Chain A
Amino acid sequence: MLLRIENLWVRYGGITALSGISIDVPQGETVLLVGANGAGKSSTINAIIGLVPAADGRIVFDGTDLTRIPCERRARMGIGYSPEGRRVFPTMSVTDNVLAGAFGLGRRRQMEALDWLRSVFPLLVERATQPAGQLSGGQQQIVALSRAMASFPKLLLMDEPFLGLAPVWIRQISDAITQLRARGTTVLMTEQMARPALKLATRGYVMRGGEVRRSGPVDVIRDVALADEYL
């Protein structure tokens, strides 16, 4: 098991966002967290990368409990993070955005990452010197994914990669995720739009009100996840 979350609680002030959830992410799989707004999907991702503290429970990544490790060290342990709303570095060029994801890895590793990502996404070449803040939402999502993958992480966290995107871009981002996975990367993603996300996932967790309601292989939870989408 690459990532094992056990009885995780997250609280913001007096509000409980996660009430003791447990999630397993096996090596090489793509695990999907579905659910409506406020279900606790982003809180789960943020707790794993360390942007919010865990009030209780354990987050074991690659055999190490992360809960006491600061955010900036978790990334360097092999966790890539593509945030909700993309949040590219707006004033920095597309190339600098990607390289910032590989900060401190040395010139050779950085160039290796850049060459690989450019071969997968021609956009990174076409828009190389443009400030990332000027790109469209779909283009920014490609940049955010590339930035997250530039350190060759073992685990890729993606928070709502389809948020606010047109169908044509949802297809492109789906292709992008498929290509990134070809390198053997394990993925944990959240998505409100269950239908396109279910095509990518191997395993899913349906969340509501800070709890896991159903979980299992995609075929088992598909109906619940889709029913939930229209609630």
Chain B
Amino acid sequence: MAQFLQAAIIGLSLGAQYALLALGFTLIFGILGVVNFAHGGFYMLGGYVAYSCVALLGVPYPLAVLIAVAATAALGWVFELFLLERLVDDHLATLMLTLGLYLILSNGLLQTFGPLAMEFRFPVSGAIRLGPVYVPQENLIVLAICLAAIVALWVVLYRTDLGRGLRALADDRAVAMAQGLRPKLLFPMAFALATGLAGLTGALVTPILALSPGVGDPVLATSFLTVILGGLGSLQGAALAAFAVGLVEAFCSVYFGGSIGALILFVLVLLLLVFRPTGLLGRTVRGA
């Protein structure tokens, strides 16, 4: 029982991280129609910016996280506005651009910080006893911050003018423009929102897991898996799928150990796609 609860809490904490990454990923796809191959790069960059602030500049960790969010959002905004925006409707070009950015980011970080993992620790450690189980404090903190970020994103998308504009552009870009919505203003904001979330996740999670120039690779794979499982373009689906993926991973590693979790996940997704090709909450058709 204790083991079960512990796996559940770890799974939820993983799920919340995956949700932030997948929401950003699906936001960019849904609104811009772009698959962001650099998503893992922003996660990694968030980790390194936070690390640099703490280790090199002596900034307190919470402030370092905020700086990492600002830096990754700013880079995303500039990248979209000056590069991606010109070619946003060309799928091959955006693939090359985002993949190229990822290579630049990961090799730049490799050159700057070297191939070894950084000595980057979460400032809080120890475990809290919740009934029969001990839960690492850092997991609870990350879970709480990720959940708060998901709620904040929901408020932005569903309760503000900006969110309304972004969803209108995702639903029908031509008609949205004919209603006076400006893609040149809104696309960079959407991209910055998504990359800022990836940076936030990186700054929060890399001190718990690891920080080295390779940590961005699995992020892209997990985001892809989650978004396809949830249904392309569906925000609710992506969030739901992220928690499912986190829980499956946590339970598999507790009960079966090793890497069998990834195998089980991919088999589950394959089966789901055979019987429900649109994913959990996917739409068959875009637009009406």
Contacts and interface: CB of A to CB of B under 8 A. Distances in A.
- Is chain B a partner of chain A in the same complex? yes
A110 B182 CA distance: 18
Given A89-B168, A92-B167, A147 B288 contact: no
A197 interface: no
B180 A104 contact: yes
A90 B178 contact: no
Interface string A138-164: 001000000110010000000000000
Given A100-B168, A103-B161, A103-B164, A88 B178 contact: no
Contact of B172 (A89, A96, A99, A151): A89
A9 interface: no
A83 B175 contact: yes
B85 interface: no
Interface in A34-89: 49-51, 71-73, 75-76, 81, 83, 85-89
A91 interface: yes
B164 A100 contact: yes
A99 B163 CA distance: 11
A96 B160 CA distance: 10
A98 to B, nearest CB: 10
A76 B181 CA distance: 9
B202 interface: no
B29 to A, nearest CB: 15
A75 B178 CA distance: 6
Residues of A in contact with B, size category? 20 to 34
Interface string B152-196: 000000000100110110111011111111110000000000000
Contacts, number: 79
A210 interface: no
Nearest to A97: B168
Given A89-B171, A91-B167, A103-B165, A147 B287 contact: no
Secondary structure at the B interface, as helix, strand, loop or mixed, is helix
A103 B180 contact: yes
Contacts of A76: 180
Interface string A96-120: 1001110110000010000000000
B177 to A, nearest CB: 5
A85 B172 CA distance: 13
B253 to A, nearest CB: 36
B134 to A, nearest CB: 43
A134 B168 CA distance: 16
B168 A72 contact: no
Nearest to A140: B288
A21 to B, nearest CB: 20
Interface residues of B, number: 21
A86 B287 CA distance: 11
A160 B184 CA distance: 30
B288 A96 contact: no
B187 to A, nearest CB: 12
A72 B171 contact: no
Contacts of B175: 81, 83, 87, 89
A130 to B, nearest CB: 14
A103 B169 CA distance: 12
Given A50-B178, A87-B175, A90-B288, A103 B168 contact: yes
A90 B287 contact: yes
B288 A83 contact: no
A79 to B, nearest CB: 9
B167 A104 contact: no
Contacts of A86: 288
B161 A87 contact: no
Contacts of B283: 91
Nearest to A147: B179
Contacts of B161: 99, 103-104, 110
A49 B180 contact: no
B164 A96 contact: yes
Nearest to B233: A91
B288 A75 contact: no
- Nearest 10 A/B pairs, CB to CB: A75-B180, A89-B171, A90-B288, A100-B168, A76-B180, A72-B177, A81-B178, A87-B175, A71-B177, A72-B182
Given A72-B181, A100-B181, A104-B165, 15 more contacts: A51-B178, A71-B177, A72-B182, A73-B180, A75-B178, A76-B180, A81-B175, A86-B288, A87-B175, A89-B176, A90-B171, A100-B164, A100-B165, A104-B161, A140-B288
